[in-house]
Chain A
Amino acid sequence: MEKFQKLTGIAAPMPLVNIDTDMIIPKVFLKTIKRSGLGVNLFDEMRYDRQGNEIPDFVLNKPQYRETEILVAGDNFGCGSSREHAPWALKDFGIKCVISTSFADIFFNNCFKNGILPIVLPQEAVDVLMTDAEKGSNARMTIDLENQTVTSSDGDVFSFEVDSFKKHCLLEGLDDIGLTMEKAAAIDTFEAAAAQARPWV
């Protein structure tokens, strides 16, 4: 997995609440057996009309947001389906960080598996960053994972919390299957004991 350490980039505002995974990547694009190539269909139904033409009003279609790497989003981003195609599409587009007041649980976990950092901040902080994101490509935010800070283009600094294990994996770009397999002995021991205690499983 690609490492995530420090990122300075364009942030796009998406203030809508409850942006769900069907909006992020509609199901017609789930019929792939690959992880790559989904960026072109990110937010497909909001981004294109039925003829496939870009809808100019949609934020990521605006010239100043075409190189967006950070999304500042409304509450409960990523609710709905477990489809990992949602973070795959974000990543493929080039988005490496999403900031919101809250995220849906499965989406949140899926992000970390793909080198995307979801950041939870209080409403007041998200409001400041949303306004900052509205300034377009002249306003670049900085995300510093090591120090757990977001810095707006005006220099406002917000600290965020992140699970220490998830942080470690992102900073180092670690594959957690490999890490878990190092604990195979503990799993073997547990499995043998569980088979004794609950042989019907």
Chain B
Amino acid sequence: MSPKTLYDKIWDAHLAHEGEDGTCLLYIDRHLVHEVTSPQAFEGLRMANRKVRAPDKTIAVPDHNVPTTAGRENPANMTEDSAIQVAALDKNARDFGIHYYPVSDVRQGIVHIVGPEQGWTLPGMTVVCGDSHTATHGAFGALAHGIGTSEVEHVLATQTLIQKKSKNMKVEITGKLKPGVTAKDITLAVIGETGTAGGTGYVIEYCGEAIRDLSMEGRMTVCNMAIEGGARAGLIAPDEKTFAYVKGRPHAPKGAQFEAALAWWKTLYSDDDAHWDKVVTLKGEEIEPVVTWGTSPEDVLPISATVPAPEDFKGGKVEAAKRALDYMGLTPGQKLTDIQIDTVFIGSCTNGRIEDLRAAAAILKGKKIKDGMRAMIVPGSGLVRAQAEEEGLADIFKEAGFEWRLAGCSMCLAMNPDQLSEGERCASTSNRNFEGRQGYKGRTHLVSPAMAAAAAITGHLTDVRDLLTETA
């Protein structure tokens, strides 16, 4: 048998039909659904008198537009259009008989945090959701990617997707990370290297010692941003950490079934001589804590750097850099650590898991945020929130001056009341620094949770390693 990549293996195991023209139907094991990209899909089913083919494999949770403040179970505390979308999801979940976690359920949260937490996401699965950050689930060695609403409807009706196979790309991070450097820095550094279109047409497999050393939470952070590099999906071969994370979760297999699953999961790795269409290698020990300076996730620099000038770029990027500097209100040559911050946001499907909150708490313990700073922590799920309270992290955040919110997408995309105002500058653990992403004319610098916490204390973008030395 010819050698295969992990992606090849998962693809082959889910190929339900291949047409003469090479068009494939890929079977979908898990379909995650949220309130913003699904109403039109369910409406389409109703109009065509179609059912959900596999309601047991379909899981819905509202996350994008729900407020993260108390009292949100009452629709009167939501904007009217948000309430309509949430009510539509509620009704669709009921009418079509799919699994559902309403806002009142402690398990509610960001769909990409709830899926793994509840054991819906397992190695070797195909996972889709009408959300580009579905790549998160790739951390389990699942083939996971975002789809549009028409494809949501297609999966609801047929449990398959029409697909062409992507190419294979290997991203290897060798060696060890230095203290203060995290999964977020890895994933941003990779995008800085490849650009936001560098992964277009590929499925990325992340590998190497620095990836193996990451926890499951860290691996989810890395895969989450595969889409920002343009890739269809990002994945990491499952290992003992993966199996240990999965075991005992509510929807994970139990007993003999777990053993049977485990036997298959252990075959899920890329063969030694598998073919790669593209290989990118970064040295883990050379990655520094990074920040974004512009309005594209590829605008990445080490925190020790200075703001670039448009002339530093080539082609269409020159104009884009000019526009970005103007939008961000930055001057070429300015030290990144001199950039003053108004707001800190810690949360999102990129960095809203317990380990992210622990990393932030380690920096914030016994400290206060800068006077006038607006700072919020939004746990990725109700269960992450409960765990953080149990571990005493919530007290650290509150004492430092952070707002301690309920679970949701919050300021990552500002479809809810959590938004930046015009010109407000935010150090954010989210995934996109696009114009207007966090609010009209809001300015976003993407960072890790530790870096966000450091900026909250000092009031400017800060090399978290300086604070580590202080506390050491």
Give A residues with C-beta under 8 Å from B: 15-18, 20, 22-23, 26-28, 30-35, 45, 50, 74-76, 79-84, 87, 102-106, 109-110, 113-114, 163-165, 176-177, 180-181, 183-184, 186-187, 190-191, 194, 197-201
Contact = CB atoms under 8 A, between A and B. Distances in A.
Given A177-B157, A181-B158, A110 B261 contact: no
B148 A187 contact: no
Interface in B374-425: 413-415
A193 B197 CA distance: 37
A4 B464 CA distance: 54
B435 A191 contact: no
A33 B85 contact: yes
B320 A17 contact: yes
Given A27-B414, A200-B122, A82 B157 contact: no
Nearest to B16: A190
Contact of A183 (B17, B57, B148): B17
A27 B39 contact: no
A84 B150 contact: yes
A140 to B, nearest CB: 25
B193 interface: no
A183 B436 CA distance: 43
30 contacts: A16-B320, A20-B432, A23-B436, A30-B64, A31-B79, A31-B84, A31-B415, A74-B316, A81-B432, A82-B130, A82-B132, A82-B147, A83-B37, A87-B148, A103-B200, A104-B197, A106-B145, A110-B149, A110-B150, A114-B150, A165-B23, A165-B162, A176-B154, A177-B50, A177-B158, A180-B158, A180-B160, A187-B27, A194-B13, A201-B125
A181 B156 CA distance: 12
Given A18-B296, A22-B435, 13 more contacts: A18-B196, A20-B296, A33-B40, A33-B43, A82-B146, A102-B200, A180-B158, A181-B158, A187-B27, A187-B160, A198-B13, A199-B260, A200-B257
* Pairs A-B, 5 closest by C-beta atoms: A200-B253, A113-B150, A110-B148, A31-B81, A33-B39
Interface string B223-257: 00001001110000000000000000000110001
Give the interface size class of chain B.
35 or more
Interface string B121-147: 010110000111000000000000111
Given A164-B21, A201-B125, A105 B85 contact: no
Interface in B186-227: 196-197, 200-201, 227
Contacts of A31: 36, 65, 79, 81-82, 84-85, 415
B148 A199 contact: no
A125 B154 CA distance: 35
Contact of A181 (B13, B19, B157): B157
B122 A190 contact: no
Contacts of B154: 176-177, 180
B168 to A, nearest CB: 15
Contacts of B19: 165
